[in-house]
Structure 1
Amino acid sequence: MAASRYKDKDAGVVLSFGGQWVSWSHTAVAYLAFLSALIVGSALHYNKIVQNEWYGYPDEWFPSVSATIGDRYPERSLFMIFIAITSGPRFALVGLFYLLTAKPGRSLPKAVAISGLIRTLTCGGWTYITSTDDHDWHDILMIAYIVFTIPWTTGCIVLSPPNPKAIKYRKYLAAGFFGTLVPLVYFFIQHKVHRVAGAYTIYAFFEWTLILLDVAFDAVTALDFSTFEVVIRDVKGTTKGASKSSVPTAATEKENEAIADFFATEYRLSDALDIAADVYHGFVFWSILTSLGLCVWYFPLWHMGISGFEALIMTTVSPAFLAIKPIRSLVVKNQRAVHLSSLAGLAAYLVEDPTYRVFAVGFGVSATCLGWAATLYSDSVQPARLERRVLAWTVGLLMSSVAKFAWYTNNPIWPIMHAANGGWNATGLVLAGLAAFRFTRLAPLQGGNPVSEKSGSAVLSSFGIGGLFFALHSLLSDTSTMILWVWDGYPIKGPVSNVHGWYTIAAMTVGFVAGISRPALVGTWTAYGIGCLGATVLTLYEQWFGYYGALVLTAYLTAISVPLISNAAKKSPAVTFGLGFFLYNLVVLFHVWVVAYAFVPGGPLVRERTDWVMLTTMLLIGAGVFNLITQQAQTAQKNAAPRRPRNNTNHRKYHFSVLGLLNVLFLCANFLRFPSNDYKPYHPEDRLLTAGIWTIHFSLDNDMWSSEYRMRDLIKELEVDVVGLLESDLQRIIMGNRDTTQFLAEDLGMYVDYGPGPNKHTWGAALLSKFPILNSTHHLLPSPVGELAPAIHATLDVYGTAVDVFVFHSGQEEDPEDRRLQSEYLAKLMGSTPRPSILLSYLVTNPLEGNYNTYVSPTSGMHDVDPTDDDRWCEYILFKGLRRTGYARVSRSTITDTELQVAKFVVPASESDFVSTWTAPKTLRNRRVPEEETAEGLRFPAMFRGDGVRDHRYHVFDEPRYYAF
């Protein structure tokens, strides 16, 4: 600090010191706060602060930040004293940076200063409210701090004065900070979910690294603040736009030129709103498109075959009308009207009748495909504007995936959603209208004129569009789709949907950035080969290795989407997008046929050939890549020394910001969805296990609304501990790429086994359990003619006793040989275990007849939960080695087409208490008793007696049945 000096009276200077001391004091005191707590805590309470919920020393040997600063005296007090002292320099640092960068007419410095202030306040929040004090508020403030770190970090880089050293340090430190978040999350998952010894220590190292990098980033301001002398007076004129710190050198000019495209142009609110509107409009496109198959699927689902409504999928080929010049001219010149009319696909939720609703969605799809094709064609004459439209279209897909993750794989603005099941339809529709108005505010660049791009093949380009859109829709419209492709049961040896979904988003982000910044690199045969390799690994392998292939394929698909769509926009839109969407529709039908082969004409020819679907997809994309490469070669030959036109890439920084924001929003949703349940059964005091079986009909109720909330309520109110769900595989385009089990498991606090994945060609079987799943295997039972029969064999830890649970869906009635073979297979599988067992199943047989006597036999060792119930055909509960105490059938209301069957069992405490299976007389084994002779904890809820609630009531017997044995 310079000595105090008095100057002339007019200057009014009493004390002066260099502005860099604000930065250095902030850095020193901040580091002192954390490091003093670490040193004192390690010296006084080492074993206590390295202890976590699973392990202690020596498995864990380095403390986390929160344990160090928040749990013990005196280190907590030392930390809080120094962090309080830090607040003064911190606020001064934010203020000086604002003064340094503020210019007349610039709004960005104000926004950055506000984010810096909020960031400072939230820092005080999570440091003074520790996880021990209030875990929720500590986490909320910590997330808020990280969220506001993004605009602060980005803003500091963008507004940085022309100082190459400061810019370089800021970029490196920011990259290090956000890059550290990835391993940080990974090792936290290893600790929290997988309970890996030592993982929390590694996590702690990355957590401390974040602290060091965060403080170091702010320390870089010392290089800028040297221009200040705190009186406060700017002695070098930087705040007036001139820097006297150094004379520009060749190196400086080169450095500035390298970052000029990204940082040179001022952020403007108007431009930011344009990009936000564009991306949201792209999100609306994907929301409408992805809802079409889902709404169409409702009709063959209830008709049990071809319904005729399937023809509505052809509404996507509406761009073919652009081949007619008057129509093309009309659409291009009236893009706003076309885009606004497409919002009928969102407003469809207002239509109660499913038939009219699906037609509204079909009209919306037709209008949105037509409008986007016309917009891209119109803007194709201006590279920057075309790139902006392409990015809006594709980044909208990423936004859709983020929204679906936050809403447990449902899109909140789909027409199967409404307020009762978590929909945000009205809000989404209003925002969509505003976005459509802003999206179309620029006049079209060309009208009905012929397209100017003559080189290359429009047909080959359409092939690329067809394959690309199918791949994006079928694999990337939900982050859990490819994770479930590689899922193979317990113990978990691969990614989990609600924990690792961000990896897919990160791969999509990397692909978009590569496609924007290196289009020549991604549009090569080498990149295509890498993408094909990823597709092969995803198709052939499971667990983490299969998912690594999925991430490679993800990055390639999003990267190649930018050049492929840009190239297609420069040709006849009727061919590239009209024919392209037609090919997309054919592959959609192809990927439906491979699992629905038993119900569609020609289905057996492509039975279970997902590998053919993937091959077709990549070949179509390859045709587009071939056309792209050929066209680039032709252009290069015509222009021996082509002059590269300067492209206005100002929009890219906004898109990069949107990508960053979407990643942060996903991580916030990821944090909120992180598994935190205690998984407690409802009546542990009675060693009770309540098991249920329910065919959920793909989570669409009788009125075409998503049914997860209503299912959740019934399962919870019936106090079901273990439930098997059938017809539960929703990970296809026609089912919306959804996963009902995620919502049910997380909301009800249950473990989940999704069962055979979507690439196993079944209609799905899933298991939810309040008890830990020790092991599970998936089975595809013999099905030589009809649909595949999925089964799960899981071993649960029920009050310390291993209990086997089987979830099974038999083949349809039309294939008796399939069902006979399946009954023999399953009977042997159930008979192979000596442990207490339960079968939750869909058997397609009459009680006491035919295959029933294979399932209930000495081979299986299983008993029927109630042999006197002669009203069954599909759902059955069988058991062995347990004491059955109750059985009930509960009406479904309008949720699905089948009831929920529930049985109660008492689990033996030891092997000596196992209930004999075939030695007890039938009269004793099936003796019923009045409810009043049953213990209170073993009874079914009384709320479903009589008329019940919400049309759920005990039926068939009108009341539950209770048993003595």
Structure 2
Amino acid sequence: MAPKHRDGDVVFSLNGKWIGWAHTITAFSGFLGALLVGCWLHYHKIVQNEYHGYPDEWFPSVSATIGDRYPERSVFQFFIAITSGPRFALVLLWYTLTARPHSTLPKIVAGTGLFRTLSCGGWTYITSTDDHNWHDIFMISYLVATLPWTLGCLALSPPNPTAIKYRKILAGLFFGTLVPLIYYFIQHKVHKVPGAYTIYAFFEWSLILFDVGFDAVTALDFESFELVVKDVKGLSRGVKLLKDDVLEKGKDKPLAQPFEGPYSWSVLLDAAADIYTGFVFWSILSSLGILVWYFPLWHMGISGYEVMVMSTVSPLLLGVPFLRSVFVNNVRWVHMSSLVGLLAWQVKDPANRLFTVGFAVWMTCLAWSVTWYAERGQPERLKARILAWAAGLVVSSIAKFANHTNNPLWPILHSGNGGWNKTGLVLGVLAVLRATQRSNINGDTYSPSSKRQGSAALAGLGLAGLFFAMHSLLSDSSTMILWVWEGYPIRSPLAVPHGALTILAMSLGLFFGLTFPGFLGSWTAFGIGSIGAAVLTCYKNWTGFYGALVLATYIMGIAPTLIASAVHHSPGRTFGLAFFVYNIMVLFHVWVVAYAFVPGGPLVREHTDWVMAATMLLIGAGVFSALVTNATSSAPRRRPASKGRKLSSYYLHILFALQLLSASIAYLRFPTNDYQPYHKDEKVLTAGIWTIHFSLDNDMWSSERRVRDAIKELELDVVGLLESDLQRIIMGNRDTTQYLAEDLGMYVDYGPGPNKHTWGCALLSKFPILKSTHHLLPSPVGELAPAIEATLDVYGEQVDVFVFHSGQEEDAEDRRLQSEYLAKLMKDSPRPSILLSYLVTKPLQGNYNTYVGEKSGMRDIDPSDWDRWCEYILYKGLKRTGYARVSRGTITDTEIQVGRFVIGQAPTETDERISEDQVADGLQFPALFKGEGVRGHRYHVFDEPRYFA
């Protein structure tokens, strides 16, 4: 019943709808007032951006209008200050309207509304001109909070058909506008398309219109209020909301309403602990391959340490009843012992560090197999455990997305190169203690049905395909993007920001796998997933990536079905077989590239398509078994218990929050594309070549930061990197170029992708890359030789840069054919050119005379340098001024070679050398590397740079 008041108690009354209208009018006044004043006083300035101005750009963006100039900025801030009063009142009234006893959602929505209001004040009064970072932080916070605010308001809407209709329309328009908004922002920021920013601005202003309009609809609901506060219709007391009607109609559906009833922070903490434990599993498992790879890398062949890949087969022990019982009853300590993998970074000796991680992998594979098997009699608990494990992969992928493709818990990291090892270990211990406190020792006492349960072997094969697909394709958000990358101009997704789409597809797949298990476990879904795999394998650019998203969704979606089916068989046969075949698949996908180093390798040479086909066939075997198992499962056929449904819903809450985190990371890491060369006044181009040895230094540490320091201190404007493709399980599915490009402020071309079967080459440039082509040079015997042919805009002049890694010393015919192929490429270029290369030849001998001279049109940067064997810098049509060789330190096994050129001057005709004192300061190499140099890097061979007239 509505509260009663005596006549005369209400001195002043105001209908609640005016709160909504006041908020709408003042908010629109702020934006539109700033727009009118800005166009009147500073039109040409506020439509100007970093690339284009009027008339190409003729409508200002929101940020340029409200934040850049006086007085329009003051107009905006004045009205937004006034808006704050109605805004706080709006949030309060909405909570008053929707709050009910024992209901948590209204409190969450109200808290979100308050947070959103405060963050709005942050980006309003701290403009991008004042502090760009804090402005972005508040803006991202506001946008992230918009989603739960909008969905919460829709869920709590009173049964007012008009208000509900407008809310749905405006919410749909708001979120639908985000797609073209991002598209045109990328067209402007990445492709620099004239006029794209104007179109982007229209969508940006539309977001403002829809955002404010969504809150304006509250005026229709607040008509039920009189202030001070009198509820004339009683909607806030005892009247059912639209949400109640929906719940009553759908109460028999299997999905629980996750926010209904009091919110249990204890259960949420349990879910977080489970997911973090899953994250630890993927962190430990994905680190093993990197450590194993270190040894054949330095031995240049089979080292013997490769046997450690078999550390995953520990679930075979579960085939022994006594051991199985011991592990099931002590699962906490099995999980706890695996955490030694998070301590491995303290082990300095590479071999011992590998053995430490190998033990951790042994225990973590055993721990999760035991966990699933022990819960097989409780379907809802089992589902929650599977969800936690799979969500752990999502967390791992997000952690790598935030940390430039390195997992911060890996033993190749420490506090000096991006590791969070101590924090990760502490959280890991707490998570295991929390996640294993609930009793789950019923696996051996559960009596399976006597009915036909499918095939244990097929179930194990299905898990093998699942584990391999998740690890090889989904453990990093950029892996499949680099599969479809074809160079410039950009025609495909970018690792940043589009890696967030991969993570979203993974999360949606997991959600669908839980909500629609029947469909995801069907042959129809398998067919759709197989089509996605085929499209990813056979197509490039956006078409290929669409296939990747379909495949990612399917892989995550089928995980609950395959694991839930496998636990009905002997765990030794299913999980033991699964990890054994998974190991074979790991070796298979390495041998397609490393065929020259392994017995029988040429049989699978360059057959990534076979790897993908085998993966899908393995998953298909698991689907076949699961269809039989699920059809005859002895689990009671009743509606799942509310408690179980409630438990799973908390995992989904965390999964939803992770998507917001992923989107925020994508926004913060978006490339600025405003890079400047080191000596632009002198029009200097400094180019270098370096073989970075897969970003593992001599002591088994990740070397990105040390590589970054050397490149920065050498003032390299353009650098070619070789042995740079790390997108395989044995290399951690990493991408060093992401970190280098973002930290150094450079454009990047990754080169031929991981499905092109090379060891990789990459190009980083301070100058815009206008176009690039990836080449795979003739290699009839040995490994494929990759090359990048790129055209750069260097101070307004087009310059071609070639980055190339030739074949091995043993394959003479390969290297001869490659020299002829590349010589023709360089000869055909009508522009000034630079070759940054690994040629495997002696100066003035053999193939050198194909690369240098009439056949290629190229000159050697220093023909008198007799000490070269691998790395060479060649050029044509440019003024060469200097050449230096810099020692590698302990980063890799190859030095850095550097050349300096001046753009716009007559090309070099002679090889006359001059002394350093005859060279202008802006053309000299950094003095930092003279003498003993710095951190092991110094000028060597000649003990000083060479300069030319």
Q: Same fold (TM over 0.5)?
A: yes
Paired residues for 1:731-880 under 5 Å = 731-880=727-876
| Offset at residue 35 of structure 1 (A) | 4.5
Question: For the Cα contact (< 8 Å) 2:104–2:260, is it kept in 1?
Answer: no
Compared with structure 1, are the counterparts of its residues 713 and 42 closer, same or farther at alpha carbon in structure 2 (3 Å cutoff)? Answer: closer
Measure the CA separation in 1 of the matches of 2:242 and 2:105. Answer: 27
Measure the CA separation in 2 of the matches of 1:756 and 1:736. Answer: 18
| Offset at residue 265 of structure 1 (A) | 3.7
Matched letter for residue 238 of structure 2: S
Q: Which residue number in structure 2 is paired with residue 208 of structure 1?
A: 205
Compared with structure 1, are the counterparts of its residues 101 and 272 closer, same or farther at alpha carbon in structure 2 (3 Å cutoff)? Answer: farther
Measure the CA separation in 1 of the matches of 2:908 and 2:202. Answer: 52
Q: Which residue number in structure 1 is paired with residue 922 of structure 2?
A: 937
Greater Cα shift, 99-108 or 756-765? 99-108
Question: For the Cα contact (< 8 Å) 1:531–1:557, is it kept in 2?
Answer: yes
Secondary structure class of the residue paired with 2:343: helix
**Pair 1:147-2:147 in alignment:** no
Matching residue within 695, 710, 718 for 1:699? 695
Matched letter for residue 239 of structure 2: K
Q: Which residue number in structure 1 is paired with residue 274 of structure 2?
A: 278
Question: For the Cα contact (< 8 Å) 1:349–1:425, is it kept in 2?
Answer: yes
Q: Deviations over 1:750-809 (max 9, x none)?
A: 111111111110111111111222222111111111111111122222222222221111
Question: For the Cα contact (< 8 Å) 1:843–1:874, is it kept in 2?
Answer: yes
**Pair 1:885-2:904 in alignment:** no
| Offset at residue 36 of structure 1 (A) | 5.0
| Offset at residue 401 of structure 1 (A) | 1.1
Matched letter for residue 656 of structure 1: L
| Offset at residue 605 of structure 1 (A) | 0.3
Paired residues for 1:583-662 under 5 Å = 583-634=581-632, 643-646=638-641, 648-662=644-658
| Offset at residue 570 of structure 1 (A) | 3.3
Q: Which residue number in structure 2 is paired with residue 921 of structure 1?
A: none
Question: For the Cα contact (< 8 Å) 2:159–2:242, is it kept in 1?
Answer: no
| Offset at residue 186 of structure 1 (A) | 2.4
Measure the CA separation in 2 of the matches of 1:222 and 1:799. Answer: 57
Matched letter for residue 86 of structure 1: T
Paired residues for 1:484-633 under 5 Å = 484-633=482-631
Matched letter for residue 723 of structure 2: E
Compared with structure 1, are the counterparts of its residues 173 and 580 closer, same or farther at alpha carbon in structure 2 (3 Å cutoff)? Answer: farther
Measure the CA separation in 2 of the matches of 1:860 and 1:472. Answer: 45
Matched letter for residue 707 of structure 1: S
Measure the CA separation in 2 of the matches of 1:70 and 1:95. Answer: 29
Secondary structure class of the residue paired with 2:720: strand
Measure the CA separation in 2 of the matches of 1:832 and 1:205. Answer: 45
Q: Which residue number in structure 2 is paired with residue 905 of structure 1?
A: 901
| Offset at residue 372 of structure 1 (A) | 0.8
Q: Which residue number in structure 2 is paired with residue 199 of structure 1?
A: 196
Matched letter for residue 752 of structure 1: V
| Offset at residue 578 of structure 1 (A) | 1.4
Matched letter for residue 334 of structure 1: N
Paired residues for 1:115-154 under 5 Å = 115-153=112-150
| Offset at residue 473 of structure 1 (A) | 0.9
Compared with structure 1, are the counterparts of its residues 601 and 163 closer, same or farther at alpha carbon in structure 2 (3 Å cutoff)? Answer: farther
| Offset at residue 734 of structure 1 (A) | 0.4
Unaligned runs of 5+ residues in structure 1 are: 917-924
Normalised to the residue count of structure 1, the TM-score between the two structures is 0.92
Matched letter for residue 273 of structure 1: L
Question: For the Cα contact (< 8 Å) 2:34–2:66, is it kept in 1?
Answer: yes
Measure the CA separation in 1 of the matches of 2:238 and 2:573. Answer: 55
Matched letter for residue 143 of structure 2: I
Q: Which residue number in structure 2 is paired with residue 295 of structure 1?
A: 291
**Pair 1:182-2:179 in alignment:** yes
Q: Which residue number in structure 1 is paired with residue 726 of structure 2?
A: 730
Measure the CA separation in 2 of the matches of 1:338 and 1:193. Answer: 49
Question: For the Cα contact (< 8 Å) 2:157–2:241, is it kept in 1?
Answer: no
**Pair 1:23-2:36 in alignment:** no
Matched letter for residue 119 of structure 2: T
Normalised to the residue count of structure 2, the TM-score between the two structures is 0.93
Measure the CA separation in 2 of the matches of 1:271 and 1:252. Answer: 22
Q: Which residue number in structure 2 is paired with residue 7 of structure 1?
A: 6
Question: For the Cα contact (< 8 Å) 2:676–2:767, is it kept in 1?
Answer: yes
Secondary structure class of the residue paired with 1:419: coil
Measure the CA separation in 1 of the matches of 2:72 and 2:240. Answer: 42
Q: Which residue number in structure 1 is paired with residue 479 of structure 2?
A: 481
Question: For the Cα contact (< 8 Å) 1:236–1:244, is it kept in 2?
Answer: no
Greater Cα shift, 846-855 or 23-32? 23-32
Matching residue within 391, 396, 399 for 1:400? 396
Matching residue within 343, 362, 369 for 1:366? 362
Question: For the Cα contact (< 8 Å) 1:783–1:818, is it kept in 2?
Answer: yes
Secondary structure class of the residue paired with 2:63: helix
Q: Which residue number in structure 2 is paired with residue 315 of structure 1?
A: 311
Question: For the Cα contact (< 8 Å) 1:164–1:256, is it kept in 2?
Answer: no
Matched letter for residue 747 of structure 1: D
Secondary structure class of the residue paired with 1:887: strand
Q: Which residue number in structure 1 is paired with residue 712 of structure 2?
A: 716
Number of residue equivalences: 943
Q: Deviations over 1:384-428 (max 9, x none)?
A: 211111111111111111111111111111111111111111111
Matched letter for residue 201 of structure 2: A
Secondary structure class of the residue paired with 2:477: coil
Secondary structure class of the residue paired with 2:416: helix
Measure the CA separation in 2 of the matches of 1:822 and 1:129. Answer: 57
Measure the CA separation in 1 of the matches of 2:387 and 2:313. Answer: 22
Compared with structure 1, are the counterparts of its residues 44 and 871 closer, same or farther at alpha carbon in structure 2 (3 Å cutoff)? Answer: closer
Q: Which residue number in structure 1 is paired with residue 84 of structure 2?
A: 87
| Offset at residue 247 of structure 1 (A) | 11
Matched letter for residue 587 of structure 1: M
Matched letter for residue 244 of structure 1: V
Measure the CA separation in 2 of the matches of 1:246 and 1:942. Answer: 74
Measure the CA separation in 2 of the matches of 1:935 and 1:503. Answer: 49
Matched letter for residue 399 of structure 2: A
Q: Which residue number in structure 1 is paired with residue 469 of structure 2?
A: 471
Measure the CA separation in 1 of the matches of 2:887 and 2:416. Answer: 20
Compared with structure 1, are the counterparts of its residues 274 and 205 closer, same or farther at alpha carbon in structure 2 (3 Å cutoff)? Answer: farther
Measure the CA separation in 2 of the matches of 1:245 and 1:560. Answer: 39
Measure the CA separation in 1 of the matches of 2:447 and 2:455. Answer: 13
Measure the CA separation in 1 of the matches of 2:550 and 2:105. Answer: 36
| Offset at residue 716 of structure 1 (A) | 0.7
Matched letter for residue 6 of structure 2: K
Matched letter for residue 945 of structure 1: K
| Offset at residue 622 of structure 1 (A) | 1.1
Q: Which residue number in structure 2 is paired with residue 922 of structure 1?
A: none
Compared with structure 1, are the counterparts of its residues 444 and 748 closer, same or farther at alpha carbon in structure 2 (3 Å cutoff)? Answer: same
Measure the CA separation in 2 of the matches of 1:432 and 1:841. Answer: 45
Greater Cα shift, 622-631 or 735-744? 622-631
Matched letter for residue 943 of structure 1: L
Q: Deviations over 1:61-109 (max 9, x none)?
A: 5543334444567655554443222211211222334455667777765
| Offset at residue 40 of structure 1 (A) | 6.4
Question: For the Cα contact (< 8 Å) 1:836–1:914, is it kept in 2?
Answer: no
Question: For the Cα contact (< 8 Å) 1:162–1:256, is it kept in 2?
Answer: no
Secondary structure class of the residue paired with 1:808: strand
Secondary structure class of the residue paired with 1:420: coil
| Offset at residue 687 of structure 1 (A) | 2.4
